[in-house]
Amino acid sequence: MFVCCGYCTGECPFEVKIEANSNDITEHPHDDKPRPYLCTVCEKRFTTKAHLKRHKQIHTTGKLYSCNQCEKCFTAQHYLKTHMNVHGSKYKCTECGKCFSSNTDLTKHRRNHSGDKPFECTVCSKRFTRSDHLVSHSRSHSGEKPHKCPKCDKTFSQLGGLNIHMRVHTGDKPYKCSLCDKSFNRSGSLQRHEHSVHSNRRPYDCRYCGKMFKNSDHLKCHVRIHTGAKPYSCRHCSERFTWDSQLKTHLLKSHNEGSWFTSHICEKKFTQNGNLNTHICRHPTTVSVTVTC
């Protein structure tokens, strides 16, 4: 079940209010700036009244400025102007040819090709290409997951994560490979597929054995085989692990921390969602299920 706001249904039964009580200020996870201005429709907070005013157009007047080359619409003309760069070649990736609306977005995208992950979690040392991905990941350590799936009761720290997860139930795979007939439910899965299947470039080599890798992250994981490094430590005992997946499995089996992933077909349990998906894909096709493979 999805809930649409008033302008989507042609109705506007609500009123957007400004809450500027100095005693009710939430801190933003990115910059810790006070955000006292509250949208009572979606509960988002903003640092200034102007930002709230611009935001509430989404709930009241809708998105007024439409792109003449695609179906996207925007609340302000300058947003549309920035978006139009996507249809040009001003901010174009030289690796894959994809265009972006700004140089910042292009820089973030290039990390997918280089494997650079500058943002590190201080709890488990997992690294990310973007700061917002790190913020979302950090919530997994605090246990904050307010968004619940209506189909399987799985919870998520962000609404975007829930929306992506719903594709597991709907079977929607909007990201199609331009070089073969495969489709994916996540853009990251498509990028990994294109990079691993359709690209032969392996610029990263191991100094110990000479083995070549397509990105620096894979190389870093491989090097631990030679060095014996175990950067992932259990917060309950003295055990340490080479990979994050090993730590998650340990926490689940030894300390009952985390969730099992259960097959809807045979009730078999797995510690990793990827292993569950692989398992379901190997079931006879006579069983009607929708999974992410």
- What CATH number did the domain enclosing 230 receive? 3.30.160.60
93 lies in a domain?
Answer: no
Query: Would you say residue 224 has pLDDT above 50?
Result: yes
Q: What are phi and psi of 100, to 5 degrees?
A: -130, 165
> Do the domain assignments include residue 24?
yes
Q: Is 189 exposed, middle or buried (0-12, 13-18, 19+ CB in 10 A)?
A: middle
Residue 136 — pLDDT band, cuts 50, 70, 90?
Answer: confident
| Per-residue pLDDT tens digits for 52-106 | 777 776 666 555 677 777 767 777 777 788 888 878 778 888 877 788 878 888 8
Do 243 and 270 belong together in one domain?
A: no
Cα separation of 37 and 54, whole Å? 12
Last residue of a domain, one of 161, 180, 197: 197
DSSP letters for 38-90: E-TTT--EESSHHHHHHHGGGTTT---EE-SSSS-EESSHHHHHHHGGGGSST
* 224 in any annotated domain: yes
Indicate whether 239 and 281 sit together in one domain: no
Q: Are residues 141 and 82 in the same domain?
A: no
If you ran DSSP here, which 8-state letter would residue 28 be given?
A: P
Residues 108 and 149 in one domain: yes
| Domain limits for position 211 | 204-261
Residue 95 forms part of a structural domain: no
Statement to judge: residues 16 and 35 lie in one domain: yes
Contact predicate 39/59, CB 8 Å: yes
Q: For 164-200, how does the pLDDT look when each residue is reduced to its tens digit (9 = 90+)?
A: 888 888 888 888 888 888 888 888 888 878 877 777 7
Q: Is residue 56 part of a domain?
A: yes
Radius of gyration of the chain (CA): 22
CA 277 to chain centre: 18
Question: Do the beta carbons of residue 241 and residue 228 sit within 8 Å?
Answer: no
CA 249, 254, 258, 264 torsion-angle sign? positive
Phi, psi for residue 20 in degrees, rounded to 5: -125, 35
- Assess whether 62 and 41 both reside in one domain: yes
Residues 217, 249, single domain; the answer is: yes
What pLDDT was estimated at residue 285?
53
Helices (H), 171-243: 187-197, 216-227
Does any domain span residue 98?
no
Q: Are 176 and 156 part of one and the same domain?
A: yes
Task: Kindly report the average pLDDT of the chain as a whole number.
Answer: 76
Q: Kindly list the distances between the CA atom of residue 137 and the CA atoms of 132, 148, 163, in Å, as whole numbers in the listed order.
A: 9, 17, 16
* Whether residue 116 is found in the same domain as residue 174: yes
- Please check whether residue 70 lies inside any domain of the structure: yes
* Residue 123 and residue 69 in one domain: no
Looking at the fold, whether 125 and 182 belong to one and the same domain comes out as yes
Neighbours of 154 (CB within 10 A): 16
* CA neighbor of 217 nearest in space, from 105, 113, 109: 113
Helices and strands: H and E segment counts in the chain: 10, 18
The secondary structure of residue 95, as a DSSP letter, is T
Is residue 50 one of the residues assigned to a domain? yes
The last residue of a domain, from among 87, 112, 137 = 87
Q: Is the pLDDT of residue 16 over 80?
A: no
What's the pLDDT tens digit per position in 21-43?
333 333 344 455 677 877 776 66
The more confidently predicted of residues 290 and 246 is 246
Number of domains in the chain: 4
**Domain end residue (candidates: 197, 212, 235):** 197
